[in-house]
Amino acid sequence: MTEATQTDAKDRKNSFVIVYHRQPYEEVTEGGKTIYRENKSPNGVVPALKGFFSTAKDACWVAWKQSPAPGKAMFQRRIHIEDSYGSYDVVRLPLTAEQVKSFYHVTSKEAFWPILHSFPWLFNYDAVDWDTFCEVNRLFAEAACEQATDDAFIWVHDYNLWLVPHYVRRMKPNARIAFFHHTPFPAPDVFNVVPWRKEILDSLLKCDIVGFHIPRYAENFASLACSLAGAKRLTRRDVEGPFNPTGAALSEPEVTTELTIDGRRVEIDAWPIGTNPEVINKHLSTFEAGGRVADIKNQIGERRLLLSVGRVDYTKGTKQMLEAFDRLLARRPELRGKVQLFCVAVAAADGMTVYRAAQREIERLVGAINGRYGNLSWTPILLSTRPVPFDELLCYYSAADVCWITPLRDGLNLVAKEFVAAQNGEPGALILSEFTGASVEFPEAVSTNPYSAASMDAAIDVALDMSREERESRMESMRRRVNRWDVNHWAHHVQERFAGLGAKRDSNGGKVAPLKTDKSGTDKKPAGKPGDAPRAA
């Protein structure tokens, strides 16, 4: 259990600050007391980021927490955490229910989310409250700067905090600012649907380094910076590492690693986060996990277990996967009663109204397929809209014959890596959408185009009919890649890039970058006072 104490160290300054909307623990109430627990899953972004606290001497995490109604409870803004990752402070930014709804549930999810995933026709301009989005980003930046030394390293995460670098640079001009996108980044013509594209891009170009999962997203960003802001590509290199540089839908043979704009250099990084095979294998080697895997296999019997894991979201391709399963049972009647699909589609939070139609469609399709083909002894699809505990999920990964991952667009998809890492027995087959970031790491997966019914049908046929020898060969190649490019390798890579920024600072006399200059060489200082908002569209 995580130990937490309240701290009033307002004057304490940190040299490393992570800014992310999510808190780095699970907060529960037991016996009227608030308990902070480590995340149940050792995989994912939050545990990976917390790993940086094990080496940081003075670090802080800035997140948001909905403030209680007046008179309900006292809000504890700053707490000190000591857990297996280290000792660090968490500063919680109190947001009202109205701010959360506007900033996160509406602007982020109804406007920016469809753009990032290349669904521009779903962009909802009317619902956007740009002023509130700016205000919340400014509050995040102020909270970060309050905790940071003047030359701190401030690492901002994900698209709903796009404007934080803008405000931080004004308040802490000598800070080193990094930004990491957890999502895809679209081509310029799609991104330019956003009315505030210049304000967002200008903020990102205030960073010292902007990171993405794969080279395609990095190239999309570089193209946007060049075409919209007049940046120039300073450095390009051949794509290396875990990526397949050619032959896949999201492949890139070369990637831009540095831009220059207005006398400043902005580095670009493309490196996908990995999973933690050591932790996964350690759990699956326990007596309890072995027994649970055996139980799952006994329940399935002679049937083939197909596994699909995700959350309710129109980008995840669950609808297309279910339709392909329906066609499979219609095309190949000999498989009826011989296969079973376990579909984990975790329902969105209550405030996320944008996903309600997707959940209704998933539930409708599951009911229709079960009603059409099921009988007393066989239910074709088992649907769970609740999260499956990670330890339990690992056992399903290990027992599954096929993992079926078909997003229409996905920044990376850690499920694919978790499945591969958990395959320590009879080898299964991985079906992977060619529009996931992970697809450029796994050329051995059965690739599919979720927009094409024919491609989806062919993929499930290949996966089910593949020989054991081929499954074993493909899985072994993917397992080697997952083990090599794991979460620790990602952390080491990021730390090297951050250290490189520090070296450049030292060689520049302690300055991050020169001030902007016009053609006459006159210094151009930013207009307005620190914290001024970007103009509204």
Q: Which of 50, 174, 92 is nearest to 515 (CA)?
A: 174
Q: Which amino acid is at 537?
A: A
Please, are residues 413 and 405 in contact by the beta-carbon 8 Å criterion? Answer: yes
Q: CA-to-CA distance for 5 and 197, rounded, in angstroms?
A: 41
Please, are residues 465 and 332 in contact by the beta-carbon 8 Å criterion? Answer: no
**Helix axis angle, 197-204 to 215-229, nearest 10°:** 110
* pLDDT tens digits, 344-379: 999 987 767 778 999 999 999 999 999 999 999 999
Both tokens assigned to 508: 């520049």
pLDDT of residue 1: 45
DSSP string, 337-356: TTEEEEEEEEPPPTT-GGGH
pLDDT of residue 88: 87
Q: Which of 69, 81, 66 is nearest to 24 (CA)?
A: 81
pTM of the model: 0.91
pLDDT of residue 70: 64
pLDDT tens series, the chain, 537 aa: 455 555 555 567 999 999 999 999 888 778 778 788 887 666 678 888 888 887 777 899 999 998 876 656 667 889 888 888 888 899 999 999 999 999 999 999 999 999 999 999 999 988 899 999 999 999 999 999 999 999 999 999 999 999 999 999 999 999 999 999 999 999 999 999 999 999 999 999 999 999 999 999 999 999 999 999 999 999 999 999 999 999 999 999 999 999 999 999 999 999 999 999 999 999 999 999 999 999 999 999 999 999 999 999 999 999 999 999 999 999 999 999 999 999 999 998 776 777 899 999 999 999 999 999 999 999 999 999 999 999 999 999 999 999 999 999 999 999 999 999 999 878 999 999 999 999 999 999 999 999 999 999 999 999 999 999 999 999 999 999 999 999 999 999 999 999 988 666 655 544 443 323 333 333 333 333 334 556 544
**Helix axis angle, 277-284 to 390-399, nearest 10°:** 80
Q: CA-to-CA distance for 18 and 252, rounded, in angstroms?
A: 30
Buried b (16+ CB within 10 A) or exposed e, 144-161: bbbbbbebbbbbbbbbbb
Q: CA-to-CA distance for 44 and 15, rounded, in angstroms?
A: 24
Both tokens assigned to 340: 């079973």
Q: CA-to-CA distance for 348 and 356, rounded, in angstroms?
A: 8
pLDDT of residue 537: 46
pLDDT of residue 506: 54
User: Is the dihedral angle over the CA atoms 415, 418, 420, 423 positive or is it negative?
Assistant: negative
pLDDT of residue 509: 46
Please, are residues 482 and 421 in contact by the beta-carbon 8 Å criterion? Answer: yes
Please, are residues 406 and 430 in contact by the beta-carbon 8 Å criterion? Answer: no
- Reported as half-sphere exposure (CB side, CA atoms, 13 A), residue 39 has a value of 17
Residue 241 neighbours by CB under 8 Å, 6+ apart: 271, 485
Radius of gyration of the chain, Cα coordinates, nearest whole angstrom: 24
